Structure 1
Amino acid sequence: MKQIFKSMLRAVKKNMVSLILFETGYRTASFLLVMHAVSAAVNYSLKAQNFSYLTAENYLKFLASPLSIVLLLGILVLILLLFLIEISALLSCFRHSYQGRKIYISDMLIEGVKRSWDFLKNSHVSWFLCIILAAPFLSMYFLIREISYIRVLEFTARQIYKVIRPHWILYGLLGITLLVSFLFIFSLPYCLLEEQKSIKGMKDGLRLLKKQWKKTLGGFVLLHIGMLVFIAVVYVLVQAGMTGAAMLTKSGSSVVSTVLIYSSWIDMGLGIFAGAVQLICSLAFVYVIYARFHVQPQTEAAMEAIVRNHIWFSKVGRRRIAAVLTLILLIGEGAYLVVLASAHDSAVSSQLTAMGVTAHRGGALMAPENTISSLGYTIDSGADFAEIDVQETKEGELVLLHDNSLKRTAGVNKNVWEMEYAEIEKLDAGSSFHKKFRGEKIPTLDEVLKFCKGRLDLNIEIKYNGKNKGIVKKVVRVIEQNGFEDHCVITSMNYGFLQQVKKANPNIRTGYIMTMTYGSVSRITAADFFSVKYTYIDEAFVREAHSLGKEVHAWTVNYRGDIKRMMDVGVDNIITDNPLLVRKVMNRESETETGFWELMKYALRI
């Protein structure tokens, strides 16, 4: 094993500079290309389906469209082709290194394209199977990190996680996927270096793995431990360097904004960096196993054939072409990143006096959610609003409850529409939170409005469960009976509910709750503001909403770095489990100094 790792390190070190330059340029360019391709595909499909925006409410309909399926399959093919060129280039580089030859970045790109093209010609459609089987194991670091930066993919992953229960089934499926992928990674050198057809290459790769499975498995375990430690150390050092630079170049509250902005860029870069480290080390290890335990055919290096057969290439020179190609990549990507960074100006002013604070679920941090006790805490915390959840009992009584079932909060495994309020009123909604709240009851909406009148404004979320189509009129009637129209807003994930509110009483402000958003929100006319999951809020969304005369409320924001980012992009209200923390972050804006370790906490999100 020791000799294998030594050979692997030699294969990497021989052409280290070319590897770094190639991976930096190629991965960054590929990532940006895929992001723009996904954006263009989603926007085109939205327009074709006459959707102005994409939210959780229309997501499944959008995704099930034949056009969306075709476009997403096209994106998948693009990703696999880019991955094919990359692994072809890296394997070619390791072959040159193993045989003691230098190779330049231009050589790697040309060989990668040439070997990929030859493989596609030899394998026809089966290339897809070979690459898609090997990809998960070789790119899991990149996928885990970067999927969060492509909103449609991130939301899809979250929905899959919610749907598949229990979660161990999902983890088991992921484990099986990685295991199957691991079995086929040795097909790559056979297919790409020996130009075998994909099916034969996969069979030869499995035979090689079968002979050396103990060394291979043990080696990959050690390799991944080393890679994870290396990536973590580099990440912390880069964040520390950025934080130190921010302290030297910025002052006052702009230091925190600068750290938050650039730490997010570093987080994005971490996925690219981690993916590059994993792919380089993994393919180097695969190639060394392949080269040590397999007799390779004595074929001429593809690069040497190109140099000999193309006079222009020989005259221009490999070094010059490599230098020009590197310069073009660096200038192009550098200019793009500068443009993006300029769009995130840390000098964006936060309208602190105008931004409101809403306690999530009535103030669930210090007391049982959606109870009179939690609302009392919210009043004491200085929040501007309390967000409460309203559902309907069997006979139509309006009560405060977040889940459809009473199991989590009251210990009864029944749905709210299956029980009358006389039964619900007797339940204990406090003991599950803390014994001192034993006997806390589930209140009605009418009781809550009477308790809060003159003391606290309310964000009343109407839950849609398929059993409460007439709930909106009842909520509006209770609000009007208590004279609470000017002291509440009504929100819902169901857009039809908001339209009903506006029809029943146009003076009550409404908010559309969006677990994700993509596209233009200009046609959402029944909402006076947008209540959006904070991870999907950026300056562009806030600008569009404000241009329409609508507010943006961010939920559920509990980490101080995210609070500060929401302040910087200009949201109008922060919905949080911890109103005191939000006030604390807002009040710290007047301070002039923040220490290094405090800033590092912002950078590392701890």
Structure 2
Amino acid sequence: MKNPTSPQLRNLIRLFRQNWSCLAVTDVAFKVLAFVALVPIVAALFRGFVAISGRKVLADQDILAFVLSPTGGIAIVVVGAIWIAILALEQSALAAVVFFRTDSQRLTTRQALLFAAGHAWPVLQLTGRMVIWTILAAVPFLVVAGIVYWSLLTKYDINFYLTKKPPQFLAALALGAVIGAAFLAVFLRILSGWIYTLPLLLFEHVSPSEALSLSGKLAAGRRKTIVAWIIGWGAANFGISLVAAAIVGGIGTLLIIGAGSVLALVLIATGGILLLGAVVNFASTLLSTTTFAVMLVGLYQTLDRKDHKTAKVTYKEESSAGRFLLKLTRRRIVFGSLLALLVAGGIGAGLLQSVQFEEDTLITAHRGASAAAPENTLASIQGAIDEGADYAEIDVQETRDGVVVVVHDSDLKKLGGPGTKIWDATAEELRKVDIGSWFAPQFSEQRVPTLAEVLSLAKGNIRVNIELKFYGHNDRLEERVAKIVEEHGMQDDIIVMSLEQSMVAKMKSLRPQWTVGLLTAVAKGDLTRLDADFFAVNLNMADRSFIQTAHDRDKQVFAWTVNDPLMMSTMIGRGVDNLITDKPALARSVLEQREEMSSVERLLVDLGGNWSEAVDPDEEPVTQ
């Protein structure tokens, strides 16, 4: 028995082969226009919604608060609809190229773009409806997920569940997987019902609401086939991207080996690798967007409906850009190769300029030397001193009786203690808990230290980075920390940071001369414009652009939590001011090794770090 999808697949391949040049040129032209005109509009609109909420920049907890607010909800619908509309307009232009193709004529790129522009308003209306329906479909699953989380994962601090993985955590994971799979099934069903919506809107002049309704009716009885096509399209493009990345990596390895230790050759080779990678990545994106348009039109045309009127368009000759793609002469190939060589050399030279030759990165021991001793204990602080760290980072909270203690989580459950919240216990009650045996028997005498005890140990031995924890139960934490620091004469040997912007602002107002920073893992907007002396960011945020922007504004960048030696070297090469790590001795060793490296060796190490995994997959998850 013949596979019914085989003729359809051959038809889609035929459509793609007939239209690939015009599709490619049209997609490139649309992406350029979108980058120049449409994307800035979306960004400005989002910033407007953020400004209405009273914030300039959203970081970490602010993002969740914004999303749950009425303004944030409206922003999600409006900005989401416009953003998806941009993608839909791109598909509209590409679909027009395929749909209006005849044996002798085809649309020009200009005609396809004008066709899409003429349908901008109905497309925006359509995507707005899609966003709203998607949100409504997701709400029940989010509610159930919230109930699961609240029922199973809120009794103790979340870090206990992430680290110890008790049965409740595994049950929550299993239920989460079921909820996620159920939502995916529902979403694929919804998506399959929308597959004909855009062609109906574009080619049959129906309204957005009619297009959604009619598409659902036409998809009835075909949903499994449609879902199979969508999954097949995604899998094929993903596979092609993986193969392309592997080929680029192989070529890069050969080029680097061939370049040897000659700096000029290494620069050209590395620049060429990055250029080739960018071209391949862009080509993969082009392939996925153009093949989706072909699939969209191909599936629509198989309906073979006779009772509808389609849109009309005036044909012209193929665009000159399309003809250029089909006529790659020897002269053009030579010219393109020379241009690529110059660009590769320029990229390589830029890389060389970005490599740090005078490196003064400092090392911070995360919760003390927490890879060698239990976190936030006097033993881990002593370990940080012994391992040569410049700073020991600690977390502070207030107890019920107003004592500032050094604890990261909201309770001691992860450390083998009770689930009592820190703010509900007295300092004396916390002192009775063994917080070291969970790590190793020799640390059984370790107890929850006070900030005063840590500063006494640190004075004259190591500087301290004090993180102000925020669980919504602070009383006078900022004032108490300032008083304790000054009582120990450590004003010049401490810095302060917090996830909560209000705590950063309050500490800065209390002690304007102190160095106070914002800690964050995610942000929306230009983080460097916030009033903070430094930014302690997740290493995924610490790219060259962010670091350079912060430095241009006289603000430092700390990267956390970096435990992999190659990534440590990469962060140092990018110019971070401070590495926050569980392994300060390893970080010190990396710094010493980089001092002995040549410029070529540093360049290759930094390039390798950009391609590596940021965190060792065998390590426990780290939360700041």
Question: What is the TM-score normalised by the length of structure 2?
Answer: 0.72
> Does 2:17 correspond to 1:13?
yes
**Alignment match of 1:226 (pick from 225, 236, 252):** 236
Aligned mates of 2:14, 2:582 — CA distance in 1: 53
Corresponding residue SS for 1:211: coil
Counterpart of 2:191? 181
**8 Å Cα contact 1:23-1:276 kept in structure 2:** yes
**8 Å Cα contact 2:498-2:518 kept in structure 1:** yes
- 1:269-308 alignment runs, 5 A limit: 276-296=286-306, 302-303=312-313, 306-307=314-315
Evaluate the alpha carbon distance shift between residue 599 and residue 115 of structure 1 in structure 2; reply closer, same or farther with a 3 A threshold: closer
Q: 1:602 Cα shift?
A: 3.1
**8 Å Cα contact 2:78-2:128 kept in structure 1:** no
- 1:58-77 alignment runs, 5 A limit: 75-77=79-81
**Alignment match of 2:535 (pick from 530, 539, 544):** 530
Deviations 1:437-481, CA, capped at 9 Å, x for gaps? 455432222232233333322111121233222122322333333
Counterpart of 1:382? 388
**8 Å Cα contact 1:15-1:102 kept in structure 2:** no
> Does 2:90 correspond to 1:86?
yes
Counterpart of 2:556? 551
Q: CA RMSD in A?
A: 4.8
**Alignment match of 1:217 (pick from 227, 231, 236):** 227
Evaluate the alpha carbon distance shift between residue 531 and residue 412 of structure 1 in structure 2; reply closer, same or farther with a 3 A threshold: same
Q: 1:207 Cα shift?
A: 3.3
Counterpart of 1:320? 320
Evaluate the alpha carbon distance shift between residue 572 and residue 247 of structure 1 in structure 2; reply closer, same or farther with a 3 A threshold: farther
Corresponding residue SS for 1:347: helix
- 1:338-417 alignment runs, 5 A limit: 346-350=352-356, 352-417=358-423
Deviates more, 1:364-373 or 1:47-56: 47-56
- 1:558-573 alignment runs, 5 A limit: 558-559=563-564, 562-573=567-578
Q: 1:569 Cα shift?
A: 4.1
Evaluate the alpha carbon distance shift between residue 595 and residue 67 of structure 1 in structure 2; reply closer, same or farther with a 3 A threshold: closer
Aligned length: 557
**8 Å Cα contact 2:248-2:277 kept in structure 1:** no
Q: 1:199 Cα shift?
A: 3.6
Aligned mates of 2:381, 2:272 — CA distance in 1: 38
Corresponding residue SS for 1:111: helix
Counterpart of 2:619? none
Q: 1:551 Cα shift?
A: 2.9
**8 Å Cα contact 1:362-1:374 kept in structure 2:** yes
Counterpart of 1:465? 471
**8 Å Cα contact 2:469-2:499 kept in structure 1:** yes
Aligned mates of 1:260, 1:37 — CA distance in 2: 35
Corresponding residue SS for 1:513: strand
**8 Å Cα contact 2:406-2:448 kept in structure 1:** yes
**8 Å Cα contact 1:355-1:571 kept in structure 2:** yes
The code of the aligned residue for 1:129 comes to: R
Aligned mates of 1:292, 1:191 — CA distance in 2: 17
Corresponding residue SS for 1:12: helix
Q: 1:180 Cα shift?
A: 1.6
Aligned mates of 2:320, 2:197 — CA distance in 1: 34
**8 Å Cα contact 2:391-2:464 kept in structure 1:** yes
Counterpart of 1:3? 7
Deviations 1:532-589, CA, capped at 9 Å, x for gaps? 3444445565455445544332333345565445434433212123334434543236
**8 Å Cα contact 1:352-1:567 kept in structure 2:** no
Deviates more, 1:293-302 or 1:230-239: 293-302
Aligned mates of 1:116, 1:84 — CA distance in 2: 11
Evaluate the alpha carbon distance shift between residue 271 and residue 318 of structure 1 in structure 2; reply closer, same or farther with a 3 A threshold: closer
Aligned mates of 2:548, 2:603 — CA distance in 1: 32
Aligned mates of 1:585, 1:318 — CA distance in 2: 58
Deviations 1:13-42, CA, capped at 9 Å, x for gaps? 222222233334433543565543344345
The code of the aligned residue for 1:602 comes to: G
**8 Å Cα contact 2:82-2:124 kept in structure 1:** no
Corresponding residue SS for 1:489: strand
Deviations 1:159-190, CA, capped at 9 Å, x for gaps? xxx9x998555675455334322321133333
> Does 2:583 correspond to 1:578?
yes
Counterpart of 1:40? 44
Counterpart of 1:194? 204
The code of the aligned residue for 2:430 comes to: I
Evaluate the alpha carbon distance shift between residue 46 and residue 170 of structure 1 in structure 2; reply closer, same or farther with a 3 A threshold: same
Counterpart of 1:110? 111
**8 Å Cα contact 1:244-1:596 kept in structure 2:** no
**Alignment match of 1:493 (pick from 499, 505, 513):** 499
